[in-house]
Amino acid sequence: MVAAAVTGCSSGTLTVSGELPATTAAPATSTGATPTAPPTVQLPTATAFSTPSSTPTGPPLPTGVDLRTSLPTAAMLPAGWTIKGTGNPVDTGTTINEYRADPPQITEPCTQMRISGTVFSQGYRVSGATSEVYDGDHMVQVYLAAYRPGDAAKLLGDLRAYAERCKTFTAKNTDGAPVPMTVTAQPVPGLGNEAVDLKQVPTGPYRTSEIVMTRIGDRVLFLSGDNILGRLPNFMQLAVPLVKSIT
């Protein structure tokens, strides 16, 4: 919660505007006459302090603990999908991030692109929760993040612009050799309010990464993984029932 600031402040010193009326000594009067009354000066009234209302509007923002309840459970996973152990759930706790940071992808170099929900969610985020599920042996990171009204849509726009700016670039492998990279961002019709499937594909025998980002109101679901074990996970098989459970 942000404490309301007091706005508007008036000076404690009263001032008189305009000229005071001239005064002269009262003329002598005969015995028994009523003396002339002294002039009256009207002083301005001091301005009262005002305090804006600090009552919040709209529903409260969800915390990480709230979001954690929407992470996938074994009971709702598609056939062939599993959770190993606890699924390593992590959340941002019971507080809301009051600092509204811009997404790093707005300015960072294309060579720094990391396909991960924890990274892509950072801009404007107020809370988040994550866990891991498996499509056979292929791990998928599930990340659900919450945003202030309008910021989730803005974030997806920023990430689409990032993908467009970095649709081709040259990275380097561990030996310093150049590796041409191609990035695609395709809309996914009918999933949530809007959804984008983003892939980072290298030329040569290197790992391809993918992330499916779905906006559900002011929340975004990120599903990310790679083909290090031979193929990419079937993200849409998980995304469809999971998005429905969040709505």
What one-character-per-residue DSSP string does 34-70 give?
A: PPPPPP--PPPPPPPPB-------SSPPP-HHHHHTT
**Mean pLDDT confidence for 92-98:** 95
Q: What are phi and psi of 139, to 5 degrees?
A: -80, 140
pLDDT score for 183: 98
11: pLDDT strictly greater than 80: no
Cα 109 from chain centroid (whole Å): 22
List all residues 6 or more positions away from 103 whose beta carbon is below 8 Å from its beta carbon: 120, 122, 123, 124, 155, 158, 159, 162
Give the pLDDT score at 127: 97
Q: Residue 243 has what DSSP assignment? A: H
Q: What integer pLDDT is reported at residue 122 of this predicted model? A: 93
Helix (H) or strand (E) run with residue 153 in it: helix 151-165
Q: Where are the domains of the chain?
A: 64-246
pLDDT of residue 20: 36
Give the chain's mean pLDDT: 83
> Is the confidence at residue 65, as pLDDT, over 80?
yes
The CA distance from 230 to 134, in Å, is 14
Q: How far apart are the first and last CA of the chain?
A: 26
| pLDDT (average), residues 51-60 | 53
Q: Give the Cα separation of 90 and 15 in Å (integer).
A: 62
Cα–Cα dist 72/94, whole Å: 20
DSSP 149: T
Q: When comparing pLDDT for 223 and 9, which is higher?
A: 223
* Tens-digit pLDDT profile for residues 24-40: 444 444 444 444 555 44
Q: What is the pLDDT of residue 71?
A: 96
Fold of 64-246: Protein Transport Mog1p; Chain A (3.40.1000)
Enclosing H/E stretch for 117: helix 117-120
Q: CA 190, CA 240: separation in Å to the nearest integer?
A: 9
Average pLDDT over residues 160-184: 95
Give 125-141 pLDDT, tens digit per residue: 999 999 999 999 999 99
Give residue 53's pLDDT band: very low, low, confident or very high (50, 70, 90). very low
pLDDT at position 57, please? 58
**Residue 59: band (very low, low, confident or very high) from pLDDT cuts 50, 70, 90:** confident
The rounded percent of the chain whose pLDDT value lies above 70 is 76
